[in-house]
Amino acid sequence: MIGNDIVDLEFAKRNSRWQEQRFLDKLFTTEEQDFIRSDDQQFQNIWRLWTMKESVYKITSRAEGKIRFNPTDFKCIVLDSNQGHVIYKSQSIATATTTDKSFIQTTACSNPQWISKLFQFSSLDYPTQHSESVQQAIKAYAAYKNVVDKFVAVIKNSRGIPQFYMNGHLQPEQLSLTHHGLYGAFAIA
């Protein structure tokens, strides 16, 4: 199972709610709020924890079907600047976070073998971003399978989860797509 999430930090700064205690209480446990306040990187810490929670939520919603997302049910443990894990219903799922001055992206995966790619969009237009994300994923998957791009498609299932198809046949590898602001990413396991 795989999930990923990205936050465009400049885009996120436009929302002042991240500074409100009510916002923090709704999304983060007391221990997580202690981590957020542990250094002078509060803004980045908030969005790192958020991407960790969201990436694991994508895994659990895929496994359990659509579930109600209660962010405080997903408890983040930060191990170092890149590695962490999220505990949900006594299950621990490893995360890997990339932090840049422009974005924070986390991939969560129950399988140690996965690939991902980050990219910047040319536009804030949602349909354009979605199309670019899908095309990036198709290109990477085709290269991974050593086939021509035109034989690969991404189709969402009835729950809205994107899945790879090759020559019309569902493939076993899982795909997670994410975008926020001017940044996008995919992860494949």
25-69 confidence digits (pLDDT tens): 999 999 999 999 999 999 999 999 999 999 999 999 888 877 778
In one-letter notation, the amino acid at residue 91 is Q
State percent of the chain over pLDDT 90.
82
Instruction: Give residue 68's pLDDT.
Output: 76
Q: In what order do the strands lie in the sheet with 152-156?
A: 115-120, 183-188, 169-180, 162-166, 152-156
What is the domain partition of the chain in residue ranges?
2-108, 117-188
CATH of range 2-108; options 1.10.1740.10, 3.90.1150.10, 2.60.40.1890, 3.90.470.20: 3.90.470.20
CB 45 within 8 A of CB 33: no
Instruction: Give residue 62's pLDDT.
Output: 86
Whether residue 15 is predicted with pLDDT greater than 90 in this model: the reply is no
pTM given for the model? 0.93
CA distances from 10 to 3, 7, 31, 59, 101 (A): 23, 9, 26, 27, 9
63-92 pLDDT per residue, tens? 887 777 899 999 999 999 999 999 999 999
Instruction: Give residue 79's pLDDT.
Output: 96
